Amino acid sequence: MKNIFSILMFLMSAQVLAVIETYEFETQAQEQLYTEIIHELRCPKCQNQTIAESNAGLSEDLRFIVYQKVMDGESKRSILRYMQERYGDFVLYDPPVKPANYFLWFAPLIVFVIILVIVLAKVGRRKVTPEE
Amino acid sequence: MNKKALMAVGPIIVFLVLIVFFWVALKNDPKKLNSNLIDKQVPAFELPALQNPEQLFTEESLPKELFLMNIWGSWCGPCHIEHPYLMKYSGKYEIPIVGVNYKDETIDGLTFIKEKGNPYHMIIADQQGTLGIDLGVYGAPETFIVDKNGTIRFRYVGVIDDRVWSTKLLPIMEQIKGSEIKPVTVESKGQ
């Protein structure tokens, strides 16, 4: 009895999982490319989810577009550019290095350098004036 | 500057810099994405009219004057709030509003218009959301200001109300047009 119940539960959960659309690919490379791309695009509707993770209707549409383009043999670069043209750098989890994004790219480095300078100054001073 | 003064002033300066930094960051709403379409043409499309699926609209069907392009759907709560304002402005100003019925069922879109009035010059039915994606739309309502050459000049995300209209949209449209946009009170449009 217990077994039947767990089998039923298993089947039901499989049903739930099947709600996420399944696309058919001709080759494994296509499937891999598709998976890779949907994990690199940010859902424009959500704040911090990839379109692979998001249940938003828009993400669903974008996944379908990615699927179609992968099947059409488009390259990853051209698909990412297509999305970027429409939704801006925001959709890319790996934004381009350009003036508008300098802060994003270099702020951690700048903070690191500042801390380094402070630490060096302190340590250096201690050596010069050990009596302090 | 001696060391003591630096120790005293340093943290204050850091604090002030952080205040400015967070102030700016707070004003910048991360939900409002910039449009990559500013100063570009309205993307090409071929979609049916909401009221008549036989009739196809393309980018050529758009008004040849300054107009607003409003993305809406009956499923969209804020669109219900926005709608009375659109009704008001469509009757008051000679600026065509092109509606894009975004990812909606035809019957729901039609019911919406029938019950609440039609502020639109024409309504494009974008059931699949393809035009929406080409426009970079990620929700509704969104409104684009398009000039007479079909170039997108401004995008507004969110509900248009009197404040948005008078402080944002109207000044921008006047600037594009190069002349004042006065209300006309001839007769109200709508069906």
- CB-based contacts of A104: which residues, under 8 Å, 6+ apart? A95
Interstrand relation of B56-58 and B46-48 (parallel, antiparallel or unpaired):
antiparallel
| Number of domains chain B contains | 2
Q: For residue B83, what pLDDT is reported? A: 97
Q: Which domain holds residue B4?
A: 1-30
Dihedral through CA A95, CA A101, CA A106, CA A111, nearest 10? Answer: -120
Q: Which of residues 45-64 of A touch B (CB under 8 A)?
A: 45, 47, 57-58, 61-62
The domain made up of A18-125 has a fold known as Helicase, Ruva Protein; domain 3 (1.10.8)
Best residue of A41, A49, A58 to probe chain B, by most B CBs closer than 10 Å: A58
Number of helices (H) and strands (E), helices first, in chain A? 5, 0
The pTM score is 0.76
State the count of interchain CB pairs (< 8 A) between A and B.
35
Poorest-pLDDT segment among B87-96, B97-106, B176-185? B176-185
Please list the helix, strand and coil fractions of chain B in percent, rounded to the nearest 5, in that order: 40, 20, 40
Using an 8 Å Cβ cutoff, are B161 and B90 in contact? no
Copy the structure tokens of residue A77: 């670069």
Using an 8 Å Cβ cutoff, are A103 and B25 in contact? no
Using an 8 Å Cβ cutoff, are A52 and A39 in contact? yes
A86 near B CB under 8 A = yes
pLDDT digits (tens, 9 = 90+) for B56-75: 999 999 999 999 999 999 99
ipTM score for this prediction? 0.74
In terms of domains, do B121 and B62 share one? yes
In terms of domains, do B61 and B15 share one? no
CATH of the domain at B64: 3.40.30.10
d(CA B83, CA B86): 5
Q: For residue B71, what pLDDT is reported? A: 96
Please state, rounded to an integer, the average pLDDT across all residues of chain B: 89
Does position B49 have pLDDT exceeding 80, yes or no?
Answer: yes
B139 near A CB under 8 A = yes
Q: For residue A15, what pLDDT is reported? A: 44
Q: Is the dihedral of CA B176, B181, B186, B188 positive or negative?
A: positive
Closest-CA residue of A relative to B103 is A57
Q: For residue A7, what pLDDT is reported? A: 61
Residue B9: inside a domain: yes
User: With contacts defined as CB-CB under 8 Å, which chain B residues touch A87?
Assistant: 33, 36, 136, 138
The residues of chain A scoring below 50 in pLDDT are 14-19, 132
Confidence label for B191 from pLDDT (cuts 50, 70 and 90): very low
Q: For residue B27, what pLDDT is reported? A: 76
In terms of domains, do B105 and B158 share one? yes
Residue B185: inside a domain: yes
CB spacing of A65 vs B133 below 8 angstroms: yes
